[in-house]
Amino acid sequence: MFCRKCGKKIADNARFCNECGTAQFSENRLDSEVYLENKQKLSRNIKICFIILIVGVLFKQILLVWLSAILAIVALLRFFAFGHKK
């Protein structure tokens, strides 16, 4: 990496610049912290999306099962009602 003050090339894990002595680690840590936070937020969002998707799919299936069951019951009731009327 390069010194954030003088721009000289320094070791990637260096905490201070060898040339001017400027502390490097605070900004680097902040960057990595921000990066980690963003990554965590992203993974959390992905997890939430997955949960919503799974719940949605499950609900859809449950809803479809219930709908088909209700339709079947209604159809049977209609059939029996018509049968009784005739």
Task: Write out the residues near Zn ion by the rule CB under 5 A.
Answer: 3, 5-6, 17, 19-20, 22
Q: Which is nearer to Zn ion, 1 or 57 (CB)?
A: 1
**Residue 65, token pair as written in the block:** 């099962």
Q: Give the sign of the dihedral formed by CA 13, CA 17, CA 18, CA 19.
A: positive
Q: Which is nearer to Zn ion, 2 or 79 (CB)?
A: 2
Closest distance between Zn ion and the C-beta of residue 9, in Å? 10
Closest distance between Zn ion and the C-beta of residue 11, in Å? 12
Match 């990595």 to its residue by tokens. 32
Cα separation of 68 and 37, whole Å?
Answer: 45
